[in-house]
Structure 1
Amino acid sequence: DRRNTAETKALFDKHRPTHVIHLAAMVGGLFRNIKYNLEFWRKNVHINDNVLHTAYEHGVEKVVSCLSTCIFPDKTTYPIDETMWEDLPHHWAVCLETFQQRLAVPSCRAYHQQYGCQFTAVIPTNVFGPFDNFNIEDGHVLPGLIHKVYLAKKNNSALTVWGSGKPRRQFIYSLDLARLFIWVLREYDEIDPIILSAGGSSNVNVELAAWGVLEKLLVGFDLTKSDGQFKKTASNSKLRRYLPDFQFTPFKQAIKESCDWFTANYALARK
């Protein structure tokens, strides 16, 4: 449990890592954030402080933390870039989680300034892929849709999408993100964060994402559910300056691979 300082130190004592990709967190989609806003804040503050300070104490050469685009303001100019992480206001549904994630940026700077630590952070857009959390209520938008479509096909029933389907989201395939994490760990030397985004082709509204998953199903929209932030379109200009030739998996291919994995592993998938 990374919330526990002693357990975190014991883990580092056991494995003696030289490099750390820090993914430990309480995470979830929009509706889990709304339901457990305070728990997100309290648990993740403890986790992040324990991981970074224990990494410093154990002489870890580099730590890469993972944030999300919810750190950016709700209403702003687009596309969002890495300089805007301090801007306000946040979206009400993720306010505490936003503040908690933002702390990672000055924390990395402070460890670098005071101790010379090479601690940095990445900001991926909406991640999806095999081994995701496909829980309909607590998961993120695409894995939740994949699960709903699976059940609708199995039961020969209509599909209901929560919200209006109009908000826009950028998606990044987890296998592409994994390759970028390795690059950041090995090659990215800045302390300030970098956005990891596939760019314009990955920027679709939720309704279009639903159509990308389903096949000939009737679709309805539950307007009693919150849409969340309307858009979080993020620039990948900084990433492209470093990696102009990086090839992202085409969105439709990534969707198909994710659906195929979920269908083949339904009994074991997180849901």
Structure 2
Amino acid sequence: MNGSVGPMRVLVTGGSGLVGRAIERVVKKEGEEREGEEWIFLSSKEANLMSAEETRAAFEKHHPTHVIHLAAMVGGLFRNMRQNLDFWRYNVFINDNVLQAAHEFGVVKVVSCLSTCIFPDKTTYPIDETMIHNGPPHESNFGYAFAKRMIDVQNRAYFQQYGLRYTAVIPTNVFGPHDNFNIDDGHVLPGLIHKTYLAKKEGKPLQVWGSGRALRQFIYSLDLARLFLWVLREYDEVEPIILSVDGWDKNLSLQRTTIPRYTCLLPILPDVATSVCATSKADGQFKKTASNAKLRKYLPDFKFTPFRAAVKETCDWFVANYDAARK
């Protein structure tokens, strides 16, 4: 089976979120929509996917042949720490409803979105696709992590029982236009962008939460969108695939001593001399460095947007859309 054969009606759950908007931009504005494809971007306002009935109604209305499943309850470190039960229950319901509706309505292929936080807390690096179930995830977000892991379990079960090739991608930290820039509950990079915007506007010190020693890898939402299209059309495995940039050097440490390296990436940064780390705040998992060796075997020539350019585009979008941005 190849996802690119025949007409495709693609339903994108979570279609109004960070990755959904990026896929819509790539498909609609960058000319990546192919003849015979129809794209439907479903938002939470149109269907509550925690409800099996509303999920089935959405599938009955649109009759997709393919699904990109992005819908999820998501949040940054501190929201996860407060609401592990909510993250578990909401995401288990959403994922089961979407995958089961896809099965019932004869969907050919589902590509779900996982996260590198699903990997074991105690592991060797770089992490790869074979390590997902080797141990418990970090305690800070175990609810979300275990719920996302279950998509992989469910995909394997659908294949074993029905021969369905439902799969999943595992991106590193995603950022870009239309992100959630909430300082308290968003992810690290959009939260930092918002903080720096306010610090410069108000003439106050920039406070970076945590010890500054934690490391993160990032992927630009538009690069992820282009890779999603390849997975949907061409990738034929049930086994998940990590979508990550090349090399270990793409880890970002937010130590005060390393912040000057990134002043050119964040044009809205105030004077770095006024930056401080709030070491009383939790770091979360220390690092989640992921290998993209599997991806590179398939796509050796894929070119990622340079990190500096991607961050600048995100900052420019945030400043231009400040009033409407999620924050």
Report the TM-score, using the length of structure 1 for normalisation.
0.97
Give 1:8 deviation, angstroms.
0.3
Contact 2:66 2:109 in 1 (8 A): yes
Matched, 1:216 2:291: no
What corresponds to 1:238 in structure 2? Answer: 294
Using the TM superposition, give the Cα deviation of residue 215 of structure 1 relative to its aligned residue in structure 2, in angstroms: 4.7
In the alignment, the residues of structure 2 paired with residue 24 and residue 41 of structure 1 have an alpha-carbon distance, to the nearest angstrom, of 14
3-state SS of the aligned residue for 1:103? helix
Paired with 2:231 and 2:145, the residues of 1 have a C-alpha distance of 23
Does the CA-based 8 Å contact 2:86-2:143 persist in structure 1? no
Structure 2 partner of 1:93: 140
Does the aligned pair in 2 maintain the 1:199–1:234 contact within 8 Å?
no
Answer whether contact 2:209 2:282 (CA < 8 A) is retained: yes
Say which structure is richer in helix: 1
Q: CA separation in 2, counterparts of 1:37 and 1:148?
A: 25
The one of 225, 228, 235 equivalent to 1:188 is: 235
CA distance in 1, matches of 2:133, 2:120: 8
2:67 aligned with 1:20 = yes
**1:219-242 deviation per Cα after TM superposition (whole angstroms, max 9, x unaligned):** 101111100000100000000000
> What is the number of equivalent residue pairs in this alignment?
271
AA aligned opposite 2:322: Y
The residue number in structure 1 matching 2:200 is 153
Is the 1:195–1:239 Cα contact (8 Å) retained in structure 2? yes
Alpha-carbon deviation of 1:91?
Answer: 1.1
- Specify the code of the residue in structure 2 equivalent to 1:193: P
Percent identical residues:
65
Residue 37 of structure 2 aligns with which residue?
Answer: none
Give me the whole-angstrom Cα distance separating, in 1, the residues matched to 2:250 and 2:178: 20
Equivalent position amino acid for 2:303 in 1: Q
For 1:119-158, list aligned pairs within 5 A. 119-158=166-205
Whichever residue aligns with residue 168 of structure 1, its letter is: L
Contact 1:16–1:58 (CA under 8 A) maintained in structure 2: yes
Partner Cα separation in structure 2 for residue 109 and residue 10 of structure 1: 26
* Structure 1 residue 88: Cα displacement: 1.4
User: Cα distance, 1:92 vs. partner?
Assistant: 1.1
Q: Is the 8 A contact 1:82 1:195 kept in 2?
A: yes
Counterpart residue number, 1:31: 78
**TM superposition shift of 1:5:** 0.5
* Match of residue 202, structure 1, among 244, 250, 270: 250
1:262 deviates by 0.0
Q: What is the alpha-carbon root mean square deviation over aligned residues?
A: 1.2
Deviations 1:222-271 (A, max 9, x none): 11110000010000000000000000000010010000000000000000
Structure 2: stretches of 5+ with no match in the other structure: 1-47
8 Å Cα contact 2:118-2:145 kept in structure 1: yes
Post-superposition Cα deviations, 1:22-41, rounded to whole Å, max 9, x if no partner, equal: 01110011111001110000
Give the structure 2 partner of residue 228 of structure 1. Answer: 284
Structure 1 gap ranges (5+): none
Provide the secondary structure at the position in 2 that maps to 1:101: helix
The Cα of 1:116 is off from its aligned counterpart by 1.7
